[in-house]
Amino acid sequence: MAKLTFRGAIQSLSRGGDGIILTLLCSICLALATWNWLAVRTTLHSNVDARFDLRTTAATDKLAIALSVYRDTLHSALDRLAITPHPDEKAWGAYAQNMRLAERLPGLVTFARCERTGDTIARIAAYSVGNEVLLGPSGSLVMPSGTTTTGRAFTLTSPSTGRAYFVFLSDTSRPSICAYAVADIDALVHVAIGPLLHDITLTVNMPDSSGQSILVFDSLYPRAPGEPRPSVDYRSSARLPYADKPALLLRYTASDEFAALRGAGVANWTFGLGLGMTVVTMLACLLALLARRHGRGLSERDAPEKRRSESRLFSVIQSVREAIVTIDAQQRIQIFNPTAESVFRCSAMEAIGEPLARFIPERFRDAHYQHIERFGMTGVSERLMGRGRPLWGLRSDGEEFPMEASISQSADADGKFYTVVLRDVTEQRQIANALQTSRSELEKLNARLEAVREEEKLRVARELHDDLGQRLTALKMDTALLKRALGDQTSVSGDVRRIEQSIDGMVAAVRQMAADLRPPMLDDLGLGPAIEWYARDFTRRYGVAVDFTEAHSLPPIPAPVATALFRIVQEALNNVAKHARATSVTIELSCDRECRLRISDNGRGLPPTRPKPDSLGFISMRERARLLGGALEVRSPSEGGTVVSAVIPMETQAPADLPGA
Q: What is the pLDDT of residues 139-188, one digit of tens each?
A: 887 777 655 555 678 888 877 777 888 888 887 666 678 888 999 888 88
262 close to 47: Cβ distance less than 8 angstroms: yes
Q: At what angle do helices 559-575 and 527-542 cross, to 10 degrees?
A: 10
pTM of the model: 0.39
Classify residue 591: in a domain, yes or no.
yes
Identify the three-state secondary structure at position 251: strand
d(CA 499, CA 514): 22
Classify residue 19: in a domain, yes or no.
no
Beta bridge partners of 324: 421
Classify residue 426: in a domain, yes or no.
no
- CATH number for the domain spanning 60: value is 3.30.450
In the listed set 259, 274, 297, which residue is the last one of a domain according to the structure?
A: 259
d(CA 33, CA 38): 9
Residue 281 has pLDDT above 80, yes or no: no
Classify residue 511: in a domain, yes or no.
no
Reference 569, options 610, 537, 524; nearest CA is 537
Question: pLDDT tens for residues 329-363?
Answer: 888 888 888 888 888 888 888 888 888 888 888 88
Reference 151, options 242, 85, 220; nearest CA is 242
71: CB partners within 8 A, 6+ apart: 151, 168, 242, 243
Per-residue model confidence (pLDDT) at position 581: 86
Q: Highest-confidence range of 34-43, 134-143, 341-350, by mean pLDDT?
A: 341-350
101 CA to centre of own chain: 46
Q: What's the domain range around 639?
A: 521-654
597 close to 565: Cβ distance less than 8 angstroms: yes
| pLDDT band, residue 579 (cuts 50/70/90) | confident
Question: pLDDT tens for residues 476-509?
Answer: 777 777 777 776 665 666 677 777 777 777 776 7
| pLDDT band, residue 659 (cuts 50/70/90) | very low
- pLDDT averaged over every residue in the chain: 77
In the listed set 242, 259, 276, which residue is the last one of a domain according to the structure?
A: 259
Residue 549 dihedral angles phi and psi, to the nearest 5°: -115, 120
Positive or negative torsion for Cα 529, 534, 539, 540? positive
Per-residue model confidence (pLDDT) at position 61: 92
d(CA 594, CA 274): 72
d(CA 303, CA 501): 108
Classify residue 84: in a domain, yes or no.
yes
d(CA 484, CA 628): 57
412: CB partners within 8 A, 6+ apart: none
Q: How confident is the model over 298-325, as a mean pLDDT?
A: 68
Least confident residue range of 47-61, 68-82, 287-301, 559-573: 287-301
3-state DSSP helix/strand/coil % of the chain, to nearest 5: 50, 25, 25
Split into its structural domains, the chain has a count of 2
DSSP code for 523: H
Classify residue 554: in a domain, yes or no.
yes
Q: Highest-confidence range of 260-274, 284-298, 636-650, by mean pLDDT?
A: 636-650
- CATH number for the domain spanning 643: value is 3.30.565.10
Residue 586 has pLDDT above 50, yes or no: yes
Question: pLDDT tens for residues 293-304?
Answer: 666 666 666 666
Cis peptide before 222 (omega within 30 of 0): yes
Q: Which of the two residues, 314 and 636, has the higher pLDDT score?
A: 636
DSSP code for 236: E
Residue 444 has pLDDT above 90, yes or no: no
User: Quick one: what percent of the chain has pLDDT higher than 90?
Assistant: 5
In the listed set 230, 259, 288, which residue is the last one of a domain according to the structure?
A: 259
d(CA 34, CA 271): 6
- State the SS3 of 452-518: HHHHHHHHHHHHHHHHHHHHHHHHHHHHHHHHHHHCCCHHHHHHHHHHHHHHHHHHHHHHHHHHHHC
Reference 190, options 342, 368, 14, 62; nearest CA is 62
Residue 312 has pLDDT above 80, yes or no: no
CA distances from 629 to 209, 450, 632, 655 (A): 96, 15, 10, 10
Helices H / strands E in the chain, number of each? 17, 21
> Up-side HSE of residue 425: CA atoms within 13 Å toward CB?
14
Classify residue 459: in a domain, yes or no.
no
Q: How confident is the model over 579-606, as a mean pLDDT?
A: 89
CA distances from 595 to 323, 575, 617, 628 (A): 52, 22, 21, 11
Q: Nearest 10 degrees: CA dihedral of 67, 71, 72, 78?
A: 160
Residue 36 has pLDDT above 90, yes or no: no
End-to-end Cα separation, the chain, in angstroms: 89
Per-residue model confidence (pLDDT) at position 445: 62
Classify residue 414: in a domain, yes or no.
no
